[in-house]
């Protein structure tokens, strides 16, 4: 499948590659975390990523699942893991079976059904946590969280032999620390995501904001997407260092989107925003 040019963003050492235009295609990969949020039409650049985190079943977000699996199989790679809302697993299996029959080769798949509140381990210290969104039946978003153990302050000055001694005595000298790296909202209408502290504190927020002009407020409501007014309200409540805006509509030119964002959002927050599909960025 020919791949179009994907957008490329680098935040500190973290790379984000993707493409996201409403109704056309949405796929956002973070290779260092080995995750890809939604799969779009499975562009070649994301095939080697082992964990696909699917938010909902709309065609523009999920069309590439069979191609992703089939191409990995063709290249001798493992099937990887596709996390998806559990109500989608039946139809996903049917579509993979149908493609297996069309193709003449069984397509191996590892599908994991998820629901809000679930956690899934990606790497030894890296987990994804699933939360509910308001878009389609069972739709979810994902945060990727690093979990570390940190030594309790009262033991911070101990020497190595003293620590060994305490461990022998089964003394808990450390406590679990969670570092939310990124949150991906997928498609959703406004929800007060600040109620979930790991979303509010995520270093990077990847959020949809589909519609920008007043006349499109009805479209936002009907499609269960966010309108600029709601997006502005949401980002004010969160503390993310970087906000990547996805799922922009082609109904509004990028220069106008940029201008409206600047008008609607306080300058200190606007400075943290990157429009994924904006070739000019700022
Ligand atoms: Zn959708």
pLDDT tens column, 58-114 = 999 999 999 999 999 999 999 999 999 999 999 999 999 999 999 999 999 999 999
Query: What integer best gives the mean pLDDT of the chain?
Result: 94
pLDDT given for residue 2 in this prediction: 40
- Give yes or no for residue 1 having a pLDDT over 50: no
User: Separation of 58 CA from ligand 1 center, angstroms?
Assistant: 5
Q: What is the helix (H) or strand (E) element at residue 131, kind and residue range? A: strand 126-132
Are the C-beta atoms of residues 228 and 191 closer than 8 Å to each other?
Answer: no
CA nearest 84: which of 48, 108, 60, 120? 120
Using CA atoms, how far apart are residues 280 and 274, in angstroms rounded to an integer?
10
Ligand 1 midpoint to CA 10 (Å): 26
Does residue 217 sit in helix, strand or coil? helix
| Residue whose structure tokens are 């406004």 | 190
Q: What distance in angstroms lies between residue 187's CA and the mean position of ligand 1's atoms?
A: 5
Cα separation of 10 and 104, whole Å? 40
Spatial separation of the C-alpha atoms in residues 203 and 184, rounded to whole Å: 11
Q: How far apart are CA 220 and CA 212, in angstroms?
A: 9
How much distance in Å is there from the Cα of 19 to the middle of ligand 1? 14
CA of 135 to the centre of ligand 1 (A): 7
Is the separation of the CB atoms in 27 and 20 below 8 Å?
A: yes
CA 140 to chain centroid: 10
Could you tell me the distance, in angstroms and rounded to a whole number, from the CA of residue 24 to the centre of ligand 1?
10
Q: How far is the CA of 175 from the centre of ligand 1 (A)?
A: 39
Predicted local confidence at residue 215, as pLDDT: 82
**Separation of 137 CA from ligand 1 center, angstroms?**
11
Q: Tens of pLDDT along 234-273? A: 999 999 999 999 999 888 899 999 999 999 999 999 999 9
Yes or no: say if 224 and 31 are a contact pair by the CB < 8 Å rule. Answer: no
Confidence of residue 221 (pLDDT cuts 50, 70, 90): confident
All residues with CB under 5 Å from ion ligand 1: 58, 187
Helix (H, G, I), strand (E, B) or coil at 96: helix
Which element (helix H / strand E) includes 26? strand 25-30
Residue 281 pLDDT level (bands cut at 50, 70, 90)? low
125 CA distance to ligand 1 centroid (A)? Answer: 31
Q: Average pLDDT for residues 17-45, to the nearest whole number? A: 96
Distance 266 CA to ligand 1 centre (A): 28
Tell me the CA–centroid distance for residue 208 and ligand 1, in Å. 10
Rounded to the nearest angstrom, the distance between the alpha carbon of 56 and the centre of ligand 1 is 7
């Amino acid at each position: 499948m020919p791949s179009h040019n994907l957008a490329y963003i680098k935040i500190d050492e973290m790379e984000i590659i993707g493409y996201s235009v409403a109704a056309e295609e949405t796929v956002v990969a973070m290779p260092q975390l080995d995750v890809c949020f939604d799969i779009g039409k499975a562009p070649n650049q994301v095939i080697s990523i082992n964990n696909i985190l699917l938010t909902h079943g709309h065609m523009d977000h999920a069309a590439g699942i069979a191609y992703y699996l089939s191409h990995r199989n063709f290249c001798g790679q493992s099937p990887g893991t596709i996390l998806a809302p559990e109500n989608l697993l039946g139809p996903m299996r049917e579509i993979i079976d149908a493609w297996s029959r069309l193709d003449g080769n069984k397509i191996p798949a590892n599908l994991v059904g998820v629901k809000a509140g679930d956690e899934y381990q990606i790497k030894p210290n890296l987990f994804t946590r699933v939360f509910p969104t308001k878009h389609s039946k069972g739709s979810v978003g994902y945060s990727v969280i690093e979990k570390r153990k940190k030594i309790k302050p009262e033991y911070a000055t101990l020497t190595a032999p003293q620590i060994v001694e305490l461990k022998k005595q089964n003394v808990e000298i450390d406590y679990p620390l969670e570092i939310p790296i990124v949150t991906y909202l997928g498609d959703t209408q406004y929800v007060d995501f600040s109620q979930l502290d790991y979303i509010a504190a995520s270093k990077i927020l990847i959020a949809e904001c589909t519609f920008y002009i007043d006349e499109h407020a009805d479209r936002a409501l009907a499609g269960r997407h966010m309108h600029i007014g709601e997006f502005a309200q949401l980002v004010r409540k969160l503390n993310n260092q970087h906000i990547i805006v996805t799922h922009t509509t082609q109904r509004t030119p990028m220069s106008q989107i940029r201008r409206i964002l600047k008008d609607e959002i306080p300058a200190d927050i606007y400075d943290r925003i990157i429009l994924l599909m904006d070739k000019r960025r700022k």
